[in-house]
A and B are shown apart, each in its own frame.
Chain A
Amino acid sequence: MSGLSRRDVVKLGSAAAAFGIGFPTVLRAQPKEVVMLGLWSFTGAFSDVGPVLDRGMKLALEERGMKVQSKTIKYITRDDETKAGSATRRAEEAVDSDGAKFIIGPWSSGVALAVSEVAKRKKVFHYFSGGTEDISGARCHRYSFQWAASPYTAAKTVVDTFMQANPKAKRWHLLVADYAFGWSVEKYIKEVGKGHGIEFVGADRHPLGEREFSNYVTKAAGNKPDVVAMINFGLDAVTGAREIFNFGLTPKVPLILTWSSGVEELVQLNPEIRENLWVGSNFYYTADTPIAREFVKSYQAKFGNPPGYAPAAAYGMTRMTLAAMDKAKSTEVADVVKALEGLELDDLVGRMRVDAKTHQTLRPYFFMRCKKKDAMKGPMDFADIIATGSTPLPAEYAACKDIGSL
């Protein structure tokens, strides 16, 4: 302190006061503004998905002219780095510094479960789309919602449809991503499989971001399965499908991508690798609904390619959030939460209803079969939707017993 004069101390004090009192009036969200945070992975394991999620959310907001309930929407993004620590830190920072009250994302289930805790603590709205059942299950609370189909709905659609087409394919080998999403879907694939008399001859788990699948495929080949089903996502699914082809398993043995991003994964595989590939997804761009048709049209016009599950989820979650604000005629978090609970409407993938008791969005799940090379009408004509299923999670499996209060 020896170098500081009394005048310096007064100056510093004034500056500090300006920082503490004056700045927030400038930086904090104005009351006429609704701050929505897109929490996406721009780096880390899902870095390839972040930019397309951002596109989907922007598109939904731009359709509304960046306005809701006469208020301007301020859209901000943060990079969650596909890490729970970074995601929670940045979400909290966006809530505290930028006044974000509505969080959409992130993409990874494990990361989303951590962000969901932030939403609960900070009392901000949170919409997520992914494979973990815990957001609308064991760790449910009033502030977090799930847009993707329940893993049970997905498993039921995939297994029932596949077994209808291939009743003799009873020996299944599973390859599962070893985190929240993989465990949830695996549980229900096995559960639904029992009803069809399926024997699970192997179920290997691999870490997120695995790039060397040869050991897993060697083991799968040794089990002589009738079908290999992968419960993984993104680059893991692409790398696994490629390796299974290289080993000569596909196309002789059918391969199921149980929970796929659709276009984003299929475009990375050659038609030869896609032969005898069956794909389950929360969205496929040929979904025959008026909103999906419009969305696909404007997305393709803007970005060239049709949208996959990721941009569709970001688009769909943003639309549902805005619809809840309209229903509530308010942009206060508590009002929007109450309005979204039980909201039922025809939206992106068809009839959609948000279960007020669990915050699970009840909606159709898609199952596709990839086309052979000579049947494709264009380079992006990957598959036909062969079934949609919307069987909700039976009550006996529901882990969300009490969603609590606001």
Chain B
Amino acid sequence: MLYALMGIGLSIITGVLNIPNFAHGALFALGAYFLVTLIQLLGNFWLALLLAPLGVGVIGIVIEYGGIRPLYRAGHDYQLLLTFGLSLIVTEGIIIVWSPVGMSQLPPPILRGGVDLGITIYPRYRLFVMAAAALLVLGAWLFLERTRYGAIMRAGIEDKEMVSLLGIDIHRLFTAAFALGCVLAGIAGALTAPIRGLNPWMGVDMLGIAFVVVALAGLGNLLGSIVAGLLVGVAQSLVALVWPEASVAVIFGVMTVVLLVRPQGLFGIR
């Protein structure tokens, strides 16, 4: 589900802005670090979990406004360089502000420990993350499918010029789309922190997986991102049970097979 969250966020940015956001992994890490700092400041996990992704969203607005906007007409190479450079800047920024040494964040007391499910023991916090991520994915999908602004965003993915001709402020749409993508990356990062801990490079693996999800889904396909996120997660978990060494490779194996059979992705249109 976390992969789906990352995938949707990246898909929105890739679809609406037509930009490969290489900073998505670093923003994921930033969500985790914001969570830890907010918990230290506020002493409340839940409030921190709410505010951390919003903080990442604000960073996203600043990035879009100050960095990406001047490059919309400059071509893909410049945007690619910019987002790649931003990922390095954010990672180095994390090292400067928080230190290169990793850290742990405990789940809130109510979610600590495991639940005996009869056949196995499973951590309470992971169950919470599964439920929360499922609700968030559903919420994101409902927002994009059932609200007016979601419809505008989807229209932006289909045809930006037409949306612009209809009198909609396309720049505001771009900012909102980038910020929404960043918020989703921030949520995924914050939710992951108590499971995987924190280190400045934690977004690197996640960025690779998010791009796999987007490529599997078909560029800019939101429903596809959800399905592809689930597919990647399930494939990884199943393979890890029988052949742990291959649990990362299987992600790229699935992508290779799908792209060989359907080069446009599972839900993409040729």
Contact = CB atoms under 8 A, between A and B. Distances in A.
12 contacts: A48-B101, A48-B102, A178-B245, A215-B237, A216-B244, A218-B120, A239-B196, A246-B123, A247-B122, A248-B124, A249-B114, A268-B197
B92 to A, nearest CB: 14
A264 B103 CA distance: 11
A100 B244 CA distance: 40
B101 A222 contact: no
A272 interface: yes
Interface in A203-260: 204-207, 210-212, 214-216, 218, 221-222, 235, 238-239, 242-243, 246-249
Nearest to A208: B245
B114 A211 contact: no
B121 A218 contact: yes
Given A215-B244, A221-B121, A246 B102 contact: no
Contacts of B58: none
Nearest to B237: A215
B101 A247 contact: no
What secondary structure prevails in chain B residues at the interface with A?
mixed
Nearest to A268: B102
A211 B120 CA distance: 21
Interface string B79-105: 000000000000000000000111111
A398 interface: no
A268 B241 CA distance: 27
Interface of B: 100-107, 112-114, 120-126, 194-197, 199, 205, 236-237, 240-241, 244-245, 247
A270 B106 contact: yes
Contacts of B199: 48, 235
Given A211-B205, A248-B114, A267 B101 contact: yes
Given A214-B123, A222-B120, A268-B103, 18 more contacts: A48-B102, A51-B100, A212-B240, A215-B244, A221-B120, A235-B199, A238-B197, A239-B196, A242-B195, A246-B125, A247-B113, A247-B122, A247-B123, A248-B112, A248-B124, A249-B114, A267-B101, A268-B102
A2 to B, nearest CB: 38
Contacts of B122: 218, 247
A39 interface: no
A246 B121 contact: no
Contacts of B194: 246
Which of A214, A247, A270, A272 has the most B CB atoms < 10 Å from its CB?
Answer: A247
B104 A269 contact: yes
A207 B244 CA distance: 7
Size category of the A interface is: 20 to 34
B189 to A, nearest CB: 14
Contacts of B124: 248
A81 to B, nearest CB: 14
A240 B78 CA distance: 40
Contacts of B247: 212
Contact of A246 (B100, B126, B236, B244): B126
Contacts of A216: 244
A273 interface: yes
Contacts, number: 78
A270 B103 CA distance: 8
B102 A206 contact: no
Contact of B244 (A210, A239, A272): A210
Contacts of A238: 102, 104, 197
A206 B244 contact: yes
A272 B102 contact: no
Residue with the highest number of chain A CB atoms closer than 10 Å, among B114, B120, B126, B205: B114
8 tightest Cβ-Cβ pairs between the two chains A and B: A248-B113, A248-B114, A246-B123, A221-B121, A268-B102, A215-B240, A247-B114, A207-B245
Contact of A247 (B121, B241, B245): B121
Interface string A174-208: 00001000000000000000000000000011110
B118 to A, nearest CB: 12
A249 B120 CA distance: 13
A210 B125 CA distance: 20
A211 B126 CA distance: 15
A246 B195 contact: yes
A269 B199 CA distance: 12
Contacts of A272: 106
A269 B105 CA distance: 8
Contacts of B101: 48, 264, 267-268
A366 B3 CA distance: 41
A211 B106 contact: no
Contacts of B104: 238, 242, 268-270, 273
Contacts of A248: 112-114, 121, 123-124
A223 to B, nearest CB: 11
Contacts of A246: 107, 112, 114, 123, 125-126, 194-195
B109 to A, nearest CB: 10
Contacts of A207: 244-245
A189 B13 CA distance: 51
Contacts of A218: 120-122
A376 to B, nearest CB: 16
A239 B100 contact: no
A211 B245 contact: no
A344 B247 CA distance: 47
B126 A214 contact: yes
Contacts of B240: 212, 215
B214 to A, nearest CB: 21
B49 to A, nearest CB: 17
Contacts of A204: 244
A270 B39 CA distance: 14
Contacts of A215: 237, 240-241, 244
A239 B125 contact: no
A241 to B, nearest CB: 9
